[in-house]
Structure 1
């Protein structure tokens, strides 16, 4: 199994491209964090869609937990949509 941090780093470098030396450390860190959180956001979206039409007590509890997780994995702009 590969290390998720290594995978995210490689994807971030791929997104930044040849301009890696010309970007700020903050921007590079943001891109890396975005790539590291992408699989979690994908999972979150799938689970949210799966539970969207469910109303059992268990489903409502899971929806609440997914809502609590959202601010930790999405940027503010995505949450406001």
Structure 2
């Protein structure tokens, strides 16, 4: 599912750094979730928990970087329901 999302993002002519950030953020998300979740199990609460984890437990010092994560999570939340049907 994530690779389908990334295929769409790559067609938007995003900067290479932005594409790399998507992959890096997804790796952090996988470390947070630990187990495989189905599309139905990935909810806004899971994403909110991830953002809280990055802010408070991981104590990410880079506010600008965290803003990118939150923006990226927002994009995934918009695309996730659509990708299930692709």
Hey, which of these two has a bigger chunk of helix by percent? 1
Smaller-chain TM-score bracket: 0.3 to 0.5
Bigger Rg, structure 1 or 2: 1
Higher RCO by CA contacts (8 Å cutoff, separation 6 or greater): 2
| TM-score after normalising by structure 1 | 0.36
| TM-score after normalising by structure 2 | 0.35
